[in-house]
Structure formats: C-alpha cells, structure tokens
Structure 1
Amino acid sequence: MTDRITVHVRSEDPVSEAGVISMLRPRPEVRLHDGADDPAVTVVVADVFDPTGYQLLRSAQHSGPSRLILLISRLQDHQLALAAECGAAGIMWRASVNGDQLVRMIQTVAAGDGHLPPDLQERLLHLLGQSHGRDQGLGIVRVADREIDILRLVSEGYDTPEIALKLSYSERTIKNVLHAFITRHHLRNRTHAVAFALRKGLI
C-alpha cells in the first residue's frame, strides 16, 4: 500500500474550505494536514483570481515545499501565466470538481507532474503564442533536442509515464531533464517551463 498524500486545504472562505475538506476526508489516498509536518500538496480554493486569491496562492507558495493546486471558479486569460508563476502546478474548475477528479489531480501533482483542463491549455497556448518573438532579440536560449521533445509533449497534456513511453526514456530521465531545464532557466514548475518555451519560440 502506498503512503497517503498529506494535503492542506486553504481558502479565504470557510464554507469553501470546509466543502473541499469534506470531499477529501473519507478518501484513503490522502491524509488531511494536521500541522505535524509539511503537506505534500496544498489545495488553494478561490472564486476568482483577484488580489485576495493571488495573495492566498502566493502565501501558499512561500509556506514550504508543498506542490500547489488551484481550485477556481473564474480565471481570465491574463491570469493563467500569473497563476503558473505563483506555483500552481494544477488548476481545476470548482464547478466540475468531484472527489475522484480532485484525488487524481493531487496524485498527479504530488508525483511532480502538472495539469490544466483542456480549455485552459488551449487558452494558454493561444495567449502565449501571441508573444512569440517578442523578446527573442534579447538573447539566444540554447536547449537540447531532447528537452524540446519533452516540453512539446508536456504542452500537449501528456504526463511523465506517457512521455517516457513515447520517447523511450525512463520516467526518471524525463523528470531529471525537466528539473534541469526548470532550474537552469529559473522557472517555477512545468507549466511555467511550457510558457517560457512558447515565449522563446522553442516549441
């Protein structure tokens, strides 16, 4: 039996926080954070990504090594990249979330992967595609072909096992390549890495 994933739920709205906690409490895959140790995943619940929602996500980012999930009701296009820069490894719409989906998202994020709903993926790709070439004159970004192949598959929504299968690499290699790319370019997570690669015209 695998270890349960420790999850902390944060919201400015006590009712919203209680609702997500009640969804997770009976799940055997997770353990709600009790303050005894650092949570593996923090779920931030907000209605809109206003200054309060932004500060809540930013505060969670700086609270420790926890991976972040944002449950949100509405998110404007210009807020997508900002949410990624604040450390959101996964984003899910509150209106469509259920216990099974949320637990799968928690497991995905805890494993080091990220996830966006398909409609947000399309919006992010479109938004960032508009900025291609804007700052390419500031310097040349050198990347290996392997990094480009992996980032392209990440941008298409594939997770680590799927990428490893498609490229005939081990899952450890995929994680190491992405970690090296993120560290080298001072990025926050995989979503931020895809945004960076798109801005630079790499994928």
Structure 2
Amino acid sequence: MTRVPLALYAQDPILEAGVRCQLRSRPEIELLDPGEEERAEVVLVVVDRLDDETELLLRRLQRSATARVGLMTGYLEENVLRTTVECGVAAVIRRSEANQDRLVSVITALARGEGVLPGDLLGRLLDQVGRLQRKVLDPRGLTLSTLTVREADMLRLVAEGLDTAQIAVKTSYSERTVKNVLHEVITRFNLRNRAHAVGYLMRHGLI
C-alpha cells in the first residue's frame, strides 16, 4: 500500500493533537513532522472558524505548495465557499463529521486528484455556477468550458465527421469563418490539428 504523505496545519495544539491521534494508526497515511512539509502530497488545514489568519495560510499554500489542500472547519459560514474556491482548496469537511474513516477517505480522495464537499456546500456552489452561467456568460456567448458556444458547436460537428464545407452549411457561417474559429481553438490549446483538438477537448469534458 502506498501511504499518502500528509502535512497538518492546525489552529491550536488541541486540534492538532486530536487529528494526529485519529490518523497515527492508519496505514494509508504518513503523518509528516514539522519541517517535512515539502514532501506532502496532501495538506490538511484544521480550524474552528475560517478567519483572516487561516485565509492567509490557504493563500500561501496555494502559491507555494504543490500538494492538494483540504480544510476541516467547525463552522461552514457564508464566506467559506468563496474563500475555498479562491484559495484552491480541493476538499472541505466539517469537524463534526470527521471521524477516523471519514478523514482517511477525504485525504486519499485528495491524493487521487478528487474533490470533496459537504452536500449543502456543493449545492450552493452549483447554484452560484448556474447564476454565473446565466447572468454573465450566456449574454456574451461564453461557457464555463472556456469555449464559446460557436466553438463548441463547430468542434462537435468535427467530432461527427463533418468537413469545413458541411460545418459552414450547418452553422450558417462562411467556410473561412469555420477555418478561423477552429484554428483559434487549436492554437489556444496548443494542439496539432482538428483530430487532436476533438480528442483533447472530449477527454477533458469541454465538449
């Protein structure tokens, strides 16, 4: 079994001792000592509340650490969602839900590149993303995928095997416009050709 090297940052010694006690016996986790943080694959920040000091720590970790960051907090207040998104936090867990198995599950999920949010926080995030799409992106013809609606439509037609002329007919644009749009996407994502573009964007869920 490959153990996950974990760096722990706690708001006070009691919180740190509690988490270390929970994780010390688990073979999935390698608890790192102070000074070994650069080896961490996962960083867990443990606080009672998300205050200014914690936000500064999260921003420092975002700038300097290659590890994925999780936050365990006693209270999920209104600013938690905004701050965690801005600071690149990949998992949030309530302290009241953080038994030993749950902690290990969150840490190993982070090590696999996954994200973890409580259900109510995920619901708020999806609501905010939906409002962003409707109020900001839709009026400008943009999507969250970083592709415009026009770009996504044309690439889907490429994926269906249509050539430039057929795409122009389907979309009511000139062939020159189709070529320019597809060339722009290929250049922006540093891809080789249309086939590479379709494969890359489908693998990453962008079309």
Work out whether the TM-score is over 0.5. Answer: yes
With CA pairs under 8 Å and 6+ residues apart, which has the higher RCO, 1 or 2? Answer: 1
Q: For structure 1, which runs of at least 5 residues remain unmatched after alignment?
A: 146-172, 182-201
TM-superposed deviation, 1:127: 3.4
Q: Which moved more, 1:18-27 or 1:129-138?
A: 129-138
Query: What residue is the counterpart of 2:102 in the other structure?
Result: 101
Secondary structure at the aligned position of 1:108 is classed as helix
Residue deviations 1:42-94 (CA, integer Å, cap 9, x gap) = 00011112212211222222332010010011122343032122111111001
Structure 1 residue 8 and structure 2 residue 35: aligned? no
Aligned residue identity for 2:10: S
Residues of 2 paired with 1:79 and 1:15: CA distance? 22
Aligned residue identity for 1:115: V
Going from structure 1 to structure 2, the CA distance change for 1:76 and 1:132 (only over 3 Å counts) comes to farther
Residues of 1 paired with 2:115 and 2:4: CA distance? 16
Residues of 1 paired with 2:73 and 2:204: CA distance? 30
Aligned residue identity for 2:24: R
Residues of 1 paired with 2:79 and 2:27: CA distance? 37
Contact 1:7–1:30 (Cα < 8 Å) also in 2: yes
Residues of 2 paired with 1:113 and 1:61: CA distance? 17
Count of aligned positions: 151
Contact 1:77–1:124 (Cα < 8 Å) also in 2: no
Residue deviations 1:76-119 (CA, integer Å, cap 9, x gap) = 23430321221111110011111101101111110111111112
Query: What residue is the counterpart of 2:29 in the other structure?
Result: 30
- Where does 1:1-203 land on structure 2 (aligned, <5 Å)? 2-34=1-33, 35-36=35-36, 37-136=38-137, 137=139, 140=142, 141-142=146-147, 144=152, 177=204
Aligned residue identity for 2:14: V
TM-score (norm 1): 0.65
Query: What residue is the counterpart of 2:195 in the other structure?
Result: none
Contact 2:11–2:48 (Cα < 8 Å) also in 1: no
Residues of 2 paired with 1:14 and 1:56: CA distance? 17
TM-score (norm 2): 0.64
Q: For structure 2, which runs of at least 5 residues remain unmatched after alignment?
A: 154-199
Going from structure 1 to structure 2, the CA distance change for 1:82 and 1:139 (only over 3 Å counts) comes to farther
TM-superposed deviation, 1:3: 1.3
Contact 2:90–2:114 (Cα < 8 Å) also in 1: yes
Aligned residue identity for 1:142: L
Aligned residue identity for 2:147: R
> What is the root-mean-square deviation of aligned Cα atoms in Å?
2.6
Aligned residue identity for 2:66: P
Going from structure 1 to structure 2, the CA distance change for 1:17 and 1:59 (only over 3 Å counts) comes to farther
TM-superposed deviation, 1:138: 5.2
Contact 1:89–1:114 (Cα < 8 Å) also in 2: yes
User: Of Structure 1 and Structure 2, which has the larger fraction of its residues in helix?
Assistant: 2
Residues of 2 paired with 1:85 and 1:129: CA distance? 18
Identity %: 35
